[in-house]
């Protein structure tokens, strides 16, 4: 199908409302829009550059956790969750009671991402895997009573207080299994030659239109992007946090999804999606470059000033890349130090500007690897 001939679907009447049935997508897509070709090439090149970090940068895996946390925080933020990076890395016992639900939602996203990436080693990306990830997303948080891990069995809607004033009403629940099966077949259909970045752009729009779950569709749909790119070898590590772009351009994100449905503007959505890939890939590359430079500078100019503490200092410094929010007890365990020695080492790190104390308490103090976190917040 030529994208210019794309018809997104049709509206059908139901009791007290009307709902939208998207056209199935399991077929080839072609286009004559040169802007799509240009953006597709740029996105592919940028992802190639990002993959080079995963292959060649020493200790690249220690950055992966931060990217997953970043994606989790921002993807949840789009849905209204208010947790920052410092809180996301903190233990649940350190989180204020009124923020614990938000903290759990972010950490559920991390668990779902980690589970799904590991599962892809043995099973294909499928509705079964998506449902399992969704169940983890909604475990013990708001939405836990809305059929986690199961396609919905009732009508949902987007915006508005009721179906009558909803901004958008997805397909009736009886259509969901068939539509999701079609989406799954589209992702894996080797008989069509639609490039993977175009394919996942279309699949993401289709997923959000189907809205197959009662809750958590946005987070699951954005998770699907990363999982697809990894499953096809387009992205070697989860270093692309596309939710950051969607959050910064939130209204444009919603608008482009809407006009894709309402005006059949699939090309416009694809271009927006490819721009998101280009810009977030570029941002990830720049963040990694700056962090590598920072790591080398600290090791050469700060850690080497620790004298007899150089070995324990290097151990703690490398540990901070996987746990940038710590307490004294963490240092005791990670570096095998007594409480007094751990306190002394932390004091040195604060003096050198590597750590920053954020609680002001005499006891149970919390320290942040501030420059590292800021590299991902820009």
Q: What is the pLDDT along the chain (378 residues), one digit of tens a residue?
A: 999 999 999 999 987 789 999 999 999 999 999 999 999 999 999 999 999 877 776 666 666 666 666 666 666 666 554 555 555 566 656 656 555 667 677 778 888 888 999 999 999 999 999 999 999 988 876 655 678 999 999 999 988 888 888 889 999 999 999 999 999 999 999 999 999 999 999 999 999 999 999 998 988 998 999 999 999 999 988 888 888 899 889 899 999 999 999 999 999 999 999 999 999 999 888 888 888 889 999 999 999 999 999 999 999 999 998 888 899 999 999 999 999 999 999 999 999 999 999 887 777 788 999 888 888 765
Tell me how far apart the alpha carbons of residues 297 and 115 are, in angstroms, rounded to a whole number: 35
Residues 6+ apart with CB under 8 A from 220: 130, 133, 134, 137, 207, 213
Question: Looking at residue 141, what is its pLDDT?
Answer: 65
In the chain, residues under CATH classification 1.10.3290.10 are 3-287
Q: Please, where in the chain does CATH 1.10.10.10 lie?
A: 302-373
- Edge-to-edge strand ranges of the sheet holding 356-357: 325-326, 367-368, 356-357
| pLDDT value of residue 72 | 64
Superfamily of domain 3-287: Fido-like domain (1.10.3290.10)
Spell out the CATH class of 302-373: mainly alpha
DSSP string, 65-81: HHHHHHHHHHHHHHTT-
């Amino acid at each position: 199908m030529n994208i210019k001939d794309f018809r997104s679907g049709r509206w059908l009447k139901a009791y007290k409302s009307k709902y939208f049935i998207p056209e199935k997508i399991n077929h080839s897509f072609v286009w004559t829009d040169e802007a799509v070709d240009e953006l597709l090439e740029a996105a592919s090149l940028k992802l190639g550059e990002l993959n080079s970090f995963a292959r060649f940068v020493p200790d690249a895996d220690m950055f992966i956790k931060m990217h997953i946390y970043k994606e989790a925080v921002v993807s949840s933020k789009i849905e209204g969750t208010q947790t920052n990076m410092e809180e996301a890395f903190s233990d649940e016992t350190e989180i204020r009671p009124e923020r614990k639900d938000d903290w759990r939602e972010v950490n559920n996203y991390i668990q779902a991402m980690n589970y799904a990436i590991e599962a892809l080693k043995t099973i294909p990306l499928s509705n079964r895997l998506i449902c399992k990830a969704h169940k983890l997303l909604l475990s013990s948080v708001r939405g836990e009573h809305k059929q986690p891990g199961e396609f919905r069995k009732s009508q949902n809607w987007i915006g508005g207080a009721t179906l009558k004033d909803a901004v958008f009403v997805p397909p009736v629940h009886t259509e969901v299994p068939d539509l999701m099966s079609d989406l799954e077949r589209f992702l894996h259909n080797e008989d069509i030659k639609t490039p993977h970045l175009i394919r996942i752009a279309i699949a993401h729009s289709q997923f959000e239109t189907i809205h197959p779950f009662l809750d958590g569709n946005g987070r699951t749909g954005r998770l699907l992007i990363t999982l697809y790119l990894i499953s096809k070898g387009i992205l070697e590590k989860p270093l692309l946090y596309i939710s950051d772009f969607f959050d910064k351009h939130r209204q444009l994100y919603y608008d482009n999804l809407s006009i894709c449905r309402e005006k059949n503007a699939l090309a416009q959505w694809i271009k927006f999606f490819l721009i998101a890939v280009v810009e977030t890939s570029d941002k990830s590359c720049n963040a990694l470059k700056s962090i590598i430079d920072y790591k080398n500078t600290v090791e050469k100019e700060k850690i080497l000033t620790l004298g007899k503490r150089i070995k324990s200092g290097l151990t703690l410094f490398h540990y901070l890349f996987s746990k940038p929010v710590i307490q004294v007890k963490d240092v005791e365990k990670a570096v095998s130090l007594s409480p007094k020695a751990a306190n002394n080492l932390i004091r040195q790190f604060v003096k050198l500007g590597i750590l920053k104390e954020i609680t002001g308490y005499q006891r149970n103090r919390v320290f942040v690897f501030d420059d590292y976190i800021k590299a991902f917040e820009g």
